Structure 1
């Protein structure tokens, strides 16, 4: 993993805690939440305040996420908002924290100038000992305050001010006035500068969880289902009728289609699609070459064709099917029949423009595991676990690619791969490229380039 860390692909963009004041604030918050402290004087934290170094010191990397539910957090600085969320157990957690920070930006800026803000993502579940318990998680509420209780004291002072203004004898209540003065010394002027965090709640109906081998729970859909790529035999009885695993690609494809969750990656953007598919082919090729013990030293993009010729016998079905699809896009050749049980099927899809697009792209990354770029972007937890099993040659190639072609323009890469722009006009064709005939176009309009989704009988 050192190669990933060195290039900022792992533990990148964490907030550096190194001043004595910040370390002391962190310790106050840590003790407030967990009863523990750190002796470190220099460490890094993610958006939730979790630190890998502190986790190592405490021999507990779930010290802010006991049982993997109700994640606690420590905010020392507004700079944490752009940090990643490490050891993610639920796909919704980072977005919830980002929304909370954005909605309370001014208040949190003022509060963290003097103290740490400590809190928790609260739901009604305190453990997930069985998969069925996941379905009791319906809504997540955020509770937060400084370690000194500034927000709570400000609410109390605000109520006192109201009493002072409205009660007939408020002006003569010496005890009330004395209590107001004492609290004002802690909170400041809450009339001119109110200290209040918005009470926020978030529905958690569709999500991924790392529990039980990794599950994608889709409850808030017309056709709900659970997808367990690693297997479903251990899950027992669940509240949802339909549960699919990776051995049922037809049923997963049908689920995506019925709910309008996925679309062909070349939908309305053929020029981008050919380049994306070629890159997917490169990753499939690299996987085959390194698995066969091939040497990638000094390999460039221009060397890919040579590698494909040398290792032709080792190339899997995904490579040939994606190549046929590129030929169809660029040269108007006969469109390839890539059915939903074909190994290349999920490589041809991206999420549709829905509220669950990020979750669907995460699922597609797991169903198309040889596309290292999409896995890194959409499912870092899986990427890190998979990366550890790769041959050294593949590790080096993927890291070099991500540094050279993704890190330099993350936003542009994401937009090209997953953006949902208005449909683009069909690009002008070269004169020597045959157009698809009307029969092809009509068929594509009905079933897409891969053929109809097969339904299990």
Structure 2
């Protein structure tokens, strides 16, 4: 993993906490949330204020995420909005925290100028003892304040001021006036500079969770379903009609099609399908060659073509399927039929531009794990887990490729692969004129 860290592919873009004042503020917030403090004089934090160094010191990587249910956070600066979120247990957590910071940036900038802001993502479920409890998570509320309770006391002072203005004897209430003065010394003039936080409640409709081996829950779609990363039998009875796992490739394909969640790469608008398919084929070749101990050299396309010639009939089915699709894209002729049972099927899809685009691309990266670029972008937790099991030659190639081809232009690469950020309101962009699921022909639309 040191190679990934050195290239900025792991723990990259974390925020440095390296001054006595910031460390002291962090410890006040940490003490308020967990009853613990750190003895470190400098460390780094992620979007939520979690620090790998502090986690190592405390022997607890979930010290800000007890039970993995209600993530706590510590904000020392609004710059944390650009940092990654480590040890994520829900796919929605990063989006909620980022949006909370962006929509309250002025207020948070004011508050963090003199104190840390500590809080929690409350979802009313405190212990996920069984999978069915996931369905109790419907809404997440962001509860936040400074360690000095500036927001709460500001609200209290505003209430006292209203009493002072409206009550008949307010001008003569010495106790009321004294309490107002005492609070004003802490909060400042809340009439001229009110500090309130907005956008603190977020719906949690469709999401992924790391709990129970990994579950994708789609309930806010026309045809709801849960997709388990592991055997679905382990989840037991769930309050949803359909539960699938990776063995149910046809059912998952039909689910994605019926809900209009995906589109074929070969016909996606604004996408260089040939370039994307070639790159996916390179990733598949690297995996096959390194597992067999073949020399891939520097991993250039010329060298990988020689590897393909060497493999011959041993070329993976995923490669063969994408190669046939590439020939159709670039030269025409008969369109190849790639069904959901074909290993290349999910490599030929990407999410449509809807509100759950990132979640669907995350699911597709799980179903097409040899596409290491999509895996890294869409599902970093899985990327890091599988990286450890790869041959050394593949780890070196992947780290060099991502540092060279992705780190240089992250936003541009994302737009090129997945399109621009989707609009939130439904519109004509939610449906392509080409009613295809892919070059294999449309999956039959059956009402289940």
TM-score when scaled to structure 1?
0.93
For residue 228 of structure 1, what is the aligned residue in structure 2? 228
Cα displacement (A) at 1:42: 0.8
| Partner deviation per Cα, 1:382-432 (whole Å, 9 max, x = no partner) | 00001010000000001111011111111111111100599xxxxxxxxxx
Are 1:251 and 1:455, in contact at CA under 8 Å, matched by a contact in 2? no
Q: In the alignment, is residue 449 of structure 1 matched against residue 416 of structure 2?
A: no
For residue 425 of structure 2, what is the aligned residue in structure 1? none
Any gaps of 5 or more consecutive residues in structure 2? 423-433
Which SS does the other structure have where 2:221 is aligned? coil
Aligned counterparts, 1:250-289, within 5 A: 250-269=250-269, 272-289=272-289
Cα displacement (A) at 1:268: 4.1
Distance 1:421 1:14 in 2: 24
Are 1:15 and 1:83, in contact at CA under 8 Å, matched by a contact in 2? yes
For residue 47 of structure 1, what is the aligned residue in structure 2? 47
| Partner deviation per Cα, 1:133-192 (whole Å, 9 max, x = no partner) | 111111000100000110011001001111111112211111111111111110011011
For residue 425 of structure 1, what is the aligned residue in structure 2? none
For residue 379 of structure 2, what is the aligned residue in structure 1? 379
Decide whether aligned partners of structure 1 residues 159 and 230 sit closer, same or farther in structure 2, where only a CA change above 3 A counts: same
Any gaps of 5 or more consecutive residues in structure 1? 423-443
Distance 2:191 2:270 in 1: 58
Which SS does the other structure have where 2:440 is aligned? coil
Aligned counterparts, 1:73-92, within 5 A: 73-92=73-92
Distance 2:5 2:261 in 1: 34
Are 1:250 and 1:454, in contact at CA under 8 Å, matched by a contact in 2? no
Distance 1:122 1:224 in 2: 25
For residue 359 of structure 1, what is the aligned residue in structure 2? 359
Decide whether aligned partners of structure 1 residues 53 and 452 sit closer, same or farther in structure 2, where only a CA change above 3 A counts: same
Cα displacement (A) at 1:241: 1.3
Which SS does the other structure have where 1:233 is aligned? helix
For residue 98 of structure 1, what is the aligned residue in structure 2? 98
Are 2:296 and 2:304, in contact at CA under 8 Å, matched by a contact in 1? no
Distance 2:51 2:292 in 1: 39
Distance 1:193 1:421 in 2: 35
For residue 427 of structure 2, what is the aligned residue in structure 1? none
Give the number of equivalent residue pairs.
436
Decide whether aligned partners of structure 1 residues 393 and 162 sit closer, same or farther in structure 2, where only a CA change above 3 A counts: same
Cα displacement (A) at 1:73: 0.3
Q: Return 169-178 or 147-156, whichever deviates more.
A: 169-178
Are 1:266 and 1:273, in contact at CA under 8 Å, matched by a contact in 2? yes
| Partner deviation per Cα, 1:354-377 (whole Å, 9 max, x = no partner) | 111110000000000100000000
Q: In the alignment, is residue 135 of structure 1 matched against residue 135 of structure 2?
A: yes
The runs of at least 4 aligned residues of structure 1 exceeding 3 Å deviation read 268-271, 444-448, 454-457
Are 1:47 and 1:83, in contact at CA under 8 Å, matched by a contact in 2? yes
Are 1:340 and 1:454, in contact at CA under 8 Å, matched by a contact in 2? no
Decide whether aligned partners of structure 1 residues 97 and 446 sit closer, same or farther in structure 2, where only a CA change above 3 A counts: closer
Distance 1:394 1:77 in 2: 38
Are 1:229 and 1:367, in contact at CA under 8 Å, matched by a contact in 2? no
